[in-house]
């Protein structure tokens, strides 16, 4: 029988993942070998572990592990069975569909927000008539301390400099719906708590926000959900079809789920629990966040990210969440040189769509520095190529 050490050496492979966990020490049945690793998932008689020392995912027969580890796996399997929602299919309307995302300026660029041309954007993107949704942002991208929509309570109790008077989000929301796009919201889970990016907050905002949350007898994380997300959810109601919550570990996921559904109980939700082509997810997600390998490590077009597509082709639901991939078309989320050849972008989209999964392309603005519409021209040509490929496949 192969030892645990040997198996950990030779069976390295990228595989499907459940929600992220803290690493633990795993031991062989004979007690001679051990390894620190994170549980990924288990299927049949195989458990998949992600090693802490090299971040590689390995497949190990359950029978060679200690009785304690085997018991742990059984408990995890029972919990996963209880939590999985494959029959809910709340995200069924996304199956076999695609969309795209652009990042509007928030109050960190107040002048750009005030001058952003909604009609110019609509005039460009309205030809993408096979795209089912567009994702737009309420927070200033990943910076949760600036916004694209008014919020009276934040302006009064935290700072009037973090929320605009113009409702750019609302204007774009209505314009997109008029063109028959569904709208997804991007929201930075950290909010004014700024747990992920404390150095990017307006001076004094973090402390003022925490004091205000305390005065309302809430934790800062609960307040993000109850005071901010719920307000926007109720305001825009059924106009919002879904939410994409970034850096979910910096927020209260349960509270965010409840708040986001307040205005539209049918909205689909996802929580980004880590960047990986293994499509990490959590029980509260209706579709996988789909964040690829972080761009500081690999280009979005890196072949290793194709693992996400293969997982969707194997099964379009990942631990109860619809398989959804979310790559940027350029080197970073909002700027940089194009990362994909058109042929590859079309191929990845069509494979996911034909497998019944979903894909959202993050696209830079043409004027990335000035934060103005329309979309970057080369990436827009790629979106049109995707649109034509989807349209052609539907006629066949």
Q: List, for residues 156-206, the tens digit of each pLDDT value.
A: 999 999 999 999 999 999 999 999 999 999 999 999 999 888 998 889 999
Q: How far is CA 353 from the centre of its chain?
A: 18
Dump pLDDT digits (tens) for 342-390: 999 999 999 999 999 999 999 999 998 899 999 999 999 999 999 999 9
pLDDT at 169: 98
**Max Cα distance, the chain (Å):** 69
C-alpha angle 104-119-98 in degrees, rounded to nearest 5:
60
Q: How many CA atoms lie within 13 A of 184 on its CB side?
A: 31
Handedness of CA 331, 333, 336, 342 (dihedral sign): positive
Backbone angles phi, psi at 18, to 5 degrees: -100, -160
Mean pLDDT within 46-57: 80
pLDDT at 219: 95
Nearest CA-CA partner of 266 in 237, 293, 294, 308 = 237
Q: Percent of the chain having pLDDT more than 70?
A: 91
What pLDDT band is residue 8 in, cutting at 50, 70 and 90? Answer: low
Report helix, strand or coil for 98.
strand
What pLDDT band is residue 300 in, cutting at 50, 70 and 90? Answer: very high
**Which architecture characterizes domain 4-83 according to CATH?**
Roll (2.30)
20: left (phi over 0), alpha (psi -120 to 50) or beta: beta
Q: Where does the chain have alpha helices with state H?
A: 4-10, 67-83, 110-115, 118-125, 152-157, 168-178, 205-215, 220-223, 230-236, 253-260, 306-314, 342-354, 377-395
Task: Give the right CATH number for 93-395 from 3.30.420.130, 3.40.250.10, 2.40.50.100, 3.20.20.80.
Answer: 3.20.20.80
Dump pLDDT digits (tens) for 276-297: 999 999 999 999 999 999 999 9
Nearest CA-CA partner of 182 in 131, 116, 255, 254 = 131
pLDDT score of 3 more than 70: no
Domain ranges of the chain: 4-83, 93-395
Mean pLDDT within 97-113: 97
Of 13 and 9, the structure prediction assigns the larger pLDDT to: 9
Report helix, strand or coil for 270.
strand
- Average pLDDT over the chain reads 90
pLDDT at 161: 96
């Amino acid at each position: 029988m192969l030892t645990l050490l040997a198996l950990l050496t030779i069976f390295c492979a990228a595989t499907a993942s459940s929600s992220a966990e803290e690493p633990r020490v795993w031991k062989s049945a004979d007690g001679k070998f051990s390894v620190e690793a994170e549980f990924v998932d288990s299927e049949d008689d195989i458990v998949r572990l992600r090693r802490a020392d090299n971040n590689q995912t390995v497949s190990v027969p359950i029978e060679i592990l200690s009785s304690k580890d085997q018991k742990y796996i059984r408990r995890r399997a029972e919990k996963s069975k209880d939590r999985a929602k494959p029959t809910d299919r709340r995200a069924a309307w996304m199956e076999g569909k695609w969309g795209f995302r652009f990042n509007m300026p928030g109050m960190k660029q107040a002048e750009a927000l005030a001058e952003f041309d909604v009609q110019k954007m609509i005039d460009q993107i309205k030809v993408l008539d096979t795209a089912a949704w567009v994702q737009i942002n309420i927070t200033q991208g990943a910076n949760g301390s600036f916004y694209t929509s008014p919020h009276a309570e934040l302006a009064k109790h935290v700072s009037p400099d973090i929320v605009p008077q113009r409702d750019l989000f609302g204007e774009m929301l209505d314009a997109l719906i008029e063109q028959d796009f569904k709208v997804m919201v991007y929201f930075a889970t950290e909010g004014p708590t700024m747990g992920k990016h404390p150095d990017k907050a307006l001076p004094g905002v973090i402390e003022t926000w925490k004091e205000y949350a305390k005065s309302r007898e809430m934790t800062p994380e609960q307040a993000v959900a109850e005071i901010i997300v719920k307000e926007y959810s109720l305001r825009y109601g059924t106009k919002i079809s879904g939410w994409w919550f970034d850096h979910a570990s910096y927020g209260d996921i349960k509270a965010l789920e409840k708040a986001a559904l307040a205005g539209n109980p049918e909205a689909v939700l996802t929580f980004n629990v880590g960047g990986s082509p293994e499509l990490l997810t959590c029980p509260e997600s209706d579709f996988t966040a789909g964040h690829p390998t972080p761009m500081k490590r690999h280009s979005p077009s890196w072949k290793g990210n194709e693992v996400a597509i293969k997982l969707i082709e194997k099964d379009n639901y990942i631990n109860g969440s619809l398989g959804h991939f979310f790559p940027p078309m350029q080197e970073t989320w909002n700027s940089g040189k194009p990362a994909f050849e058109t042929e590859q972008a079309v191929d990845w989209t069509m494979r996911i769509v034909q497998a019944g999964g979903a894909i959202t392309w993050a696209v830079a603005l043409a004027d990335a520095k000035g934060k103005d519409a329309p979309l970057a021209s080369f990436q827009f040509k790629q979106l049109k190529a995707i649109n034509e490929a989807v349209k052609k496949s539907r006629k066949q």
